[in-house]
Amino acid sequence: MSNEFIQTEYSEIMQKSYIDYAMSVIVSRALPDVRDGLKPVQRRCLYDMYELGIRWDKPYRKSARIVGDTMGKYHPHGDSSIYGALVVMAQDFKMGQPLVDGHGNFGSIEGDGAAAMRYTEARLTKLTQEAFLSDLDKEVVEFVPNFDETEKEPSVLPARIPNLLVNGSEGIAVGMTTAIPPHNLGEVIDALIALIRDSSLTNQDLMKYVKGPDFPTGGIVVNASDLEQIYSTGTGRIRIRGKVEVEKVPRSERKRIVITQIPYPMIGAGIGKFLNDVAALADSKLGSDIADISNQSSKEGIRIVLELRKGADEEYIKKLLYKKTRLEDTFSVNMLAVSNGKPETLSLHDILEAHIEFQFEIATKKYRNLLDGELAKKEIQEGLIRAVDVIDLIIEILRGSKDRSMARNCLVTGNTDGIRFKTKKSKADAAKLRFTEAQANAILEMRLYKLIGLEIDALMAEYEETKKKIERYTDILNNYSSMADVIVRQLEEFRKNYANERRTMICEEEEIVLEERKAEAYPCVLLMDRFGYARTVDEAVYEKNKDAAEEENRFVIHCMSDSRLCIFTDIGKAHILKVEKIPHGKFRDKGTPIDNLCNYDSASESLLSIMNLEEIKAQHLIFLTAHGFIKMVEGSEFDVAKLTVAATKLEEDDRLISVHPAHFQAGCVMITKTCMALRIQEEDIPLQKKNARGVIGIRLAKDDEVVQVHYLEDGAPTEAEVNGRSVALNRLRIASRGAKGTKIRK
């Protein structure tokens, strides 16, 4: 056997393989079919329950049985995906019309997961059985082999309602996603009936019936003006707000805000995050009027209660919740579905039109099959009626025949060979018989009691009923209006039995403009430890722990809650930090790294000092570098809007070693690495701009640098450790700026 080699480009193989994979995911797993609105895993779950006989009026069955049977027969992709789909179809807070009746813990709106499938039970809902599975036995949809070709499964369910709109769908495929919101069943059916009656209706016309999405969680859609474009293009963003009510607290002057409906995207973990966000607002003083928050939700519905302080402005709190939390959220619409075997972004009109086309297709197959059945029944009934009239001759044929085939042959072809007749007339009459094969078989199988008069009357009545059905089915198949009437009557029945009131309000609201109230300023103390963790505490807390605060922290700064701090670093930068951004808490709280609060980077710069910007604006600051450059700068130069500014200009390899307020009277002492000390007076330091380099404060020898600086006060002795000995700095002689200084010896 010779080997054949096919040479091709590797990139072409990769491209083809990836496209095949992508289309498999898109069509066979992630996207719903526009006809029944179901993904393959959902369709297979429902069909398997139908096959197992788990109907709405039958007992529940273990979910594990359903999952296992579905996986073994139709969906070999793991039990978690199957059970996940089963759970979602049973959750009334996710589905506009649940398709599965769940018994047990199927999760909650607050994000609690469903119990393991060995504990829960399920069965079909009545709607699912009537609207999705009722006509499967009439061969109205195509059945295809399953993954191992041992079973047959429907390629699509004969859905009678536009499930893609009613229950919506969400899925992530390869390079594309779908997000279709749920809608009100009654409104969708009304739009569908209107389009059946008048195919010229536009999207705008259909929106007279479909007002907008109808989320199971309720809420308020506040951008009604955008819905027309969304339904025309199939894409857009829907803004949803939760429903908020204000209640008066009994026997009190206080009020409470009660949230009874939430935005659809908040389902699950979003509720817990919302509660945390509200608590954070209350702690940050923006929502200081919120006294308490509690989640009183139950199986009766959502109820989140915010207790307000006396005199609180509830309208401001409502705006704060909409603006600062997920109580107002967006649903990104992308109405992507599989249509004619390929993914397409569809408009409202496209989806309804596709469903109507599908309804006429399955109705045509259904009534054609029913017509064929009635025609076959009519043929047999006519044969039996004719046989009753010549029953004596038929009995004579049966008694004279040697076997069944001889008698049947005589009834069908009139062949009398081998049959004994009593008279020649009987033989001649038998030769004239011309029953069909089906009629002959029915005659041979007919029982004698059928010859009773009442039975013959019933046969005649049944024959008349069959002719009426044939006439009706023929009319339905041949006339569009007749078939449309049948479809409309079915839709009206579903609307009558299953439609519910709209839960989501549709309106047009302006975007929330929140004029944030400036929190009342209060005195506090910044504490920052040697590791750079900062927090603020109340002044009273500081006074109670004053000694510990001074001992354990590198910086202790008194300030107001609305103050700004100026952080100076050795690379000549000044970082501006608002006190309100620093976490406020208890004395023993760890705090937050200063790196996370401003632009300070501990990996590339070292912190020299932190000053209250409100205090230094009216002062002068002394800047001293390691190369001995010194200057005085007005503190007001750092009152800027930027978060980081250059505090001074530095030479290459130079660094800032000190920033200090210029309020000393006895001068300052600069000490170098080689133990040279120079004391100068404050008036010798020139006033310059912050972007200036400064002037020479002390003249350095080669490879020398300033390592210490001390600011002296009148009458206050200051000592420093220099060259291994304690030196009284206030006894040093005052010299001119720019001198070399005095050598301090051991």
Query: How is 20-43 classified by DSSP, letter by letter?
Result: HHHHHHIIIIIS-BTTT---HHHH
Would you state the torsion angle of the CA atoms of residues 39, 354, 499, 54, taken in this order, to the nearest 10 degrees? Answer: -40
- Domains of the chain with bracketed CATH: 31-159 (3.90.199.10), 243-326 (3.30.1360.40), 354-497 (1.10.268.10), 523-743 (2.120.10.90)
In this predicted structure, the answer to whether residue 121 has a pLDDT above a threshold of 60 is yes
Structure tokens at 9: 């480009």
Segment 566-607, tens digit of pLDDT: 999 999 999 999 998 898 888 888 889 999 999 999 889 999
Q: What's the mean pLDDT when you consider all of the chain?
A: 88
Q: What average pLDDT score do residues 435-460 get?
A: 77
pLDDT at site 512: 79
Segment 52-80, tens digit of pLDDT: 999 999 999 999 999 999 999 999 888 99
Pair 573, 645: CB distance under 8 Å: yes
Percent of all residues in the chain with a pLDDT value above 90, rounded to a whole number: 55
Pair 163, 189: CB distance under 8 Å: no
| Pick from 98-102, 127-131, 561-565, 721-725: least confident | 721-725
Pair 633, 625: CB distance under 8 Å: no
3-class DSSP state of 19:
helix
pLDDT at site 724: 75
pLDDT class of 399 with cuts at 50, 70, 90: confident
Report the distance separating Cα 500 and Cα 157, nearest Å: 24
What b/e sequence results for 164-182 when a residue is b if at least 16 CB atoms lie within 10 Å of its CB, and e otherwise?
A: bbbbbbbbebeebebbbbb
Q: Are strands 505-506 and 220-221 parallel, antiparallel or unpaired?
A: parallel
> How far is CA 138 from each of CA 11, 467, 470, rounded to the nearest angstrom?
48, 20, 17
pLDDT at site 179: 93
Report the distance separating Cα 394 and Cα 388, nearest Å: 9
Cβ contacts of 248-251, under 8 Å, gap ≥ 24: 249/307
Sign of CA dihedral 468, 471, 476, 482: negative
pLDDT at site 22: 59
| Pick from 120-124, 384-388, 500-504: least confident | 384-388
> Of the candidates 304, 380, 685, 319, which has an alpha carbon nearest to the alpha carbon of residue 509?
319
Residue 742 or 25, more confident: 742
In this predicted structure, the answer to whether residue 7 has a pLDDT above a threshold of 80 is no
pLDDT at site 490: 94
In this predicted structure, the answer to whether residue 301 has a pLDDT above a threshold of 80 is yes
Segment 357-368, tens digit of pLDDT: 999 999 999 999
- The residue annotated as part of the active site, out of 21, 119, 480, 522, is 119
Q: What average pLDDT score do residues 294-310 get?
A: 89
In this predicted structure, the answer to whether residue 132 has a pLDDT above a threshold of 70 is yes
In this predicted structure, the answer to whether residue 672 has a pLDDT above a threshold of 60 is yes
**119 belongs to the catalytic site:** yes
DSSP notation for 286-348: TTTTEEEEEE--BTTB--EEEEE-TT--HHHHHHHHHHHSTTEEEEEEE-EEEETTEEEE--H
Percent of all residues in the chain with a pLDDT value above 70, rounded to a whole number: 95
Q: What average pLDDT score do residues 399-423 get?
A: 83
Sign of CA dihedral 70, 72, 76, 82: positive
Q: What average pLDDT score do residues 415-443 get?
A: 83
Residues facing residue 244 across a β-bridge: 259
pLDDT at site 10: 67
Pair 642, 600: CB distance under 8 Å: no
Structure tokens at 549: 């605060």
pLDDT at site 74: 93
> How far is CA 458 from each of CA 374, 451, 463, 465, rounded to the nearest angstrom?
17, 11, 8, 10
Q: What is the identity of the amino acid at 391? A: I
Q: What average pLDDT score do residues 692-701 get?
A: 92
Sign of CA dihedral 682, 685, 686, 692: negative
pLDDT at site 27: 61
How is residue 121 annotated by DSSP?
E
